[in-house]
């Protein structure tokens, strides 16, 4: 993943500078406190599961009795509550594996009722208690995948109502699941989490950050041309252009092939249309004026040139939001030609040519321009975020990792803000959209403050945000971020950042998942 700038200095030098930078940080954020925390605006639908851990529910839930000493409601004595109780909303729901593992036991367990214990890597076990029922084939020795349904939440054993007793055991000692899950990129914050997607190895193309990606949506109805015109063989030189343009703009080549088939039969009929559209991908001259790009490197964008036409179609689709979930794919195709049958024809042909995975985040944060009237984060909350981030300088960068000691750019930002009970989406692009939906506001270069987020284009091509970093020292224009595999987590420069196709700075408002919880 290409990042926004070069490293300021070796990690050894950075360690020596920590006391200075810590003092600088405190000075930079000092100032009067701002108002009360506001309820964060959540993105539509369930957040996608990501990383190697996830909450043990797919549905939304509330946290009730936590880890620690309590007066037992049945035994009527003080004793250690060794887990976290979670209650599905609005009613009992399925319980899923928090990470991949092997079943140690499954059945009746004293006090826990119907319970399952899973063994994971590193001597970690998880326990799921009070289940109403245990799923078929869940038995000792069976391997389970992250997100696999284990059973249904219930009230068996020593229980006073439907809930899941979720326990994490390290070695032989139960520990508090809340900080453990937070450290592993899966905060127990009550938000619904979608069923876990297939692993990157099972996808047609590499997945985006954290294993997030989604298949091209299937065609629907109505259809028109594809009902009578079967998909044609793609000429080799045209297919090579589809592949090259798809690589440049990071999208399935089959989607470009679907448009090429629908528009001109891959160039077999690319004469001017009855409405004046030109070229293999049939652009109107007015659209070409803003979307046409030079695909073959000859210094000009020729509406009739095959390479320029195909690259421009990829440019158009990505600018129209093709990476923003299945609905974004359909909307981008609709923008290309305003007809539902056209969208379904293109998807039919794309599927016939092999389909593929869109490198995007299915989280739908909608559109917006942020809320400039939001109060900024309090000084104490910013300090909490940056102090945690500073504590991870030197950690490795691993694409798709979600902690606790390895990160990619967006999981690092997500984990830092989770320390103050703010749950951002998993990918850089979705984080920016989450801010734009009303959880933050954009600031100009030169007005940034510590903790602000810098978004830029990167591995997803010139039209999509692919990287995020946190401002560390505005005066020196330095960040703290998970930079890349060569440099890991550290401090870097964003001087020259505006030379990127996308370079945006956003400030997080003083929001929280639950305003009653303070950092």
Half-sphere exposure for 46 (CA within 13 Å, toward CB): 17
SS3 track for 386-450? HHHHHCCCCCCECCCCECCCCECHHHHHHHHHHCCCCCCCCCHHHHHHHHHHHHEEEECCCCCCC
Q: How far is CA 490 from CA 16, 157, 392, 393, 505, in A?
A: 13, 49, 8, 5, 19
Closest by CA position to 205, among listed 52, 360, 50, 327? 360
Q: Which residues have a Cβ under 8 Å from the Cβ of 41 and sit 6 or more positions away?
A: 434, 437, 438, 439, 511
Q: Dig out the tokens for 205 from the structure.
A: 């193309």
Question: What is the C-alpha separation between 128 and 108, in angstroms, rounded?
Answer: 11
Token pair 């592993």 in the structure block, residue: 184
SS3 content of the chain, % helix, strand, coil (to 5): 30, 25, 50
Question: What is the C-alpha separation between 462 and 500, in angstroms, rounded?
Answer: 8
pLDDT of residue 361: 77
pLDDT in tens, the chain (519 residues): 444 444 444 444 444 444 444 544 444 444 444 457 888 888 776 666 666 789 999 999 999 988 988 777 777 778 889 999 999 999 889 999 999 889 999 999 988 999 999 998 778 999 999 999 999 989 999 989 889 999 999 999 988 889 999 999 998 899 999 989 988 888 898 888 877 754 443 333 444 566 677 889 999 999 999 999 999 999 999 999 999 999 999 899 999 999 999 999 999 998 888 889 999 999 999 999 999 999 999 999 999 999 999 999 999 999 999 988 899 999 999 999 999 999 999 999 999 999 998 887 777 787 789 999 999 999 999 999 999 999 999 999 988 788 888 899 999 999 999 999 898 888 899 899 999 999 999 999 999 999 999 999 888 888 889 999 999 999 999 999 999 999 999 999 999 777 778 999 999 999 988 665 444
Beta-sheet strand order (sheet of 503-508): 440-443, 503-508, 453-458, 461-473, 478-482, 489-493
pLDDT of residue 171: 84
pLDDT of residue 360: 78
Closest by CA position to 311, among listed 262, 242, 239? 242
Closest by CA position to 98, among listed 157, 201, 211, 184? 184
Token pair 């009550």 in the structure block, residue: 190
Question: What is the C-alpha separation between 95 and 112, in angstroms, rounded?
Answer: 15
pTM, two decimals, is 0.74
CATH homologous superfamily, domain 61-183: Glucose Permease (Domain IIA) (2.70.70.10)
Query: What is the number of other CB atoms lying within 10 angstroms of the CB of residue 398?
Result: 15
pLDDT of residue 455: 96
Each residue's pLDDT tens digit, 166-201: 999 998 899 999 989 988 888 898 888 877 754 443
Please report, for the chain, how many H helices and E strands are present, in that order: 12, 23
* Angle separating helix axes 253-264 and 325-336, nearest 10 degrees: 30
Cis peptide, bond prior to residue 404, ω within 30 of zero: yes
Contact 240, 246 (CB under 8 A): no
Q: What three-state secondary structure class fits 288? A: helix
pLDDT of residue 270: 86
Q: What's the DSSP call for residue 185?
A: T
SS3 track for 203-266? CCCCCEHHHECEECCCCCCCCCHHHHCCCCCCCHHHHHHHHHHHHHHCCCHHHHHHHHHHHHCC
| Fold type of domain 214-358 | Lysozyme (1.10.530)
pLDDT of residue 6: 45
Domain ranges of the chain: 11-46+367-512, 61-183, 214-358
What is the architecture, at CATH level 2, of domain 11-46+367-512? Alpha-Beta Complex (3.90)
**466: enclosing H helix or E strand:** strand 461-473
């Amino acid at each position: 993943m290409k990042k926004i700038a070069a490293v300021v200095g070796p990690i050894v030098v950075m360690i020596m500078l920590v006391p200075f930078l810590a003092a600088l940080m405190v000075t930079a954020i000092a100032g009067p406190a701002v108002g009360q925390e506001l309820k964060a605006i959540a993105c539509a639908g369930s957040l996608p599961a990501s990383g190697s851990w996830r909450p043990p529910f797919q549905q939304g839930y509330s946290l009730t009795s936590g880890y620690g000493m309590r007066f037992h409601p049945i035994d009527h004595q003080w004793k250690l509550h060794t887990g976290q109780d979670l209650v599905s909303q609005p009613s009992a729901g399925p319980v899923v594996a928090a990470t991949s593992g092997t079943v140690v036991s499954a059945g009746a367990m004293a006090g826990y009722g119907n319970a399952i214990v899973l063994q994971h890597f590193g001597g970690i076990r998880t326990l799921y208690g009070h289940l109403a029922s245990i799923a078929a084939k869940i038995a000792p020795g069976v391997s389970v995948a992250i997100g696999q349904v284990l059973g249904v939440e219930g009230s068996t054993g020593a229980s006073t109502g439907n809930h899941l007793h979720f326990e994490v055991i390290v070695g032989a000692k139960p520990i508090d699941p809340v900080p453990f899950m937070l450290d592993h990129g899966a905060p127990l914050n009550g938000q619904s989490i979608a069923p876990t997607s297939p692993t990157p190895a099972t996808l047609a193309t590499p997945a985006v950050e954290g294993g997030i990606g989604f298949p091209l949506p299937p065609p629907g109805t109505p259809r028109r041309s594809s009902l009578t015109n079967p998909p044609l063989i793609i000429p080799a030189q045209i297919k090579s252009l589809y592949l090259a343009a798809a690589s440049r703009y990071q999208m399935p080549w089959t989607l470009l092939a679907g448009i090429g088939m629908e528009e001109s039969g891959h160039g077999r009929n690319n004469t001017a249309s009855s409405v004046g559209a030109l070229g293999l991908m049939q652009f109107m001259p007015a659209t070409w004026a803003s979307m046409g790009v030079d695909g073959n490197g000859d210094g000009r964008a020729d509406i009739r040139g095959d390479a320029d036409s195909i690259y421009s179609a990829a440019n158009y689709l990505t600018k129209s939001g093709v990476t923003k979930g299945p609905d974004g794919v359909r909307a981008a195709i609709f923008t290309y030609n305003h007809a539902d049958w056209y969208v379904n024809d293109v998807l039919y042909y794309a599927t016939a040519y092999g389909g593929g995975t869109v490198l995007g985040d299915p989280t739908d944060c909608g559109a917006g321009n942020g809320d400039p009237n939001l109060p900024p984060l309090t000084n104490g909350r910013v300090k909490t975020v940056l102090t945690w981030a500073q504590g991870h300088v030197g950690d490795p960068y691993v694409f798709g990792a979600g902690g606790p000691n390895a990160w990619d750019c967006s999981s690092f930002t997500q984990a830092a803000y989770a320390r103050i009970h703010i749950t951002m989406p998993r990918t850089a692009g979705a984080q920016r959209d989450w801010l734009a939906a009303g959880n933050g506001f954009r600031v100009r270069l030169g007005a940034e403050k510590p903790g602000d987020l810098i978004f830029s284009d990167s591995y997803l091509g010139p039209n999509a945000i692919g990287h995020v970093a946190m401002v560390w020292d505005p005066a020196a224009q330095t960040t703290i971020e998970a930079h890349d595999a060569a440099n890991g987590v550290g401090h870097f420069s964003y001087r020259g950042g505006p030379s990127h196709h996308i370079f945006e700075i956003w400030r997080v408002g003083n929001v929280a998942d639950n305003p009653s919880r303070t950092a």
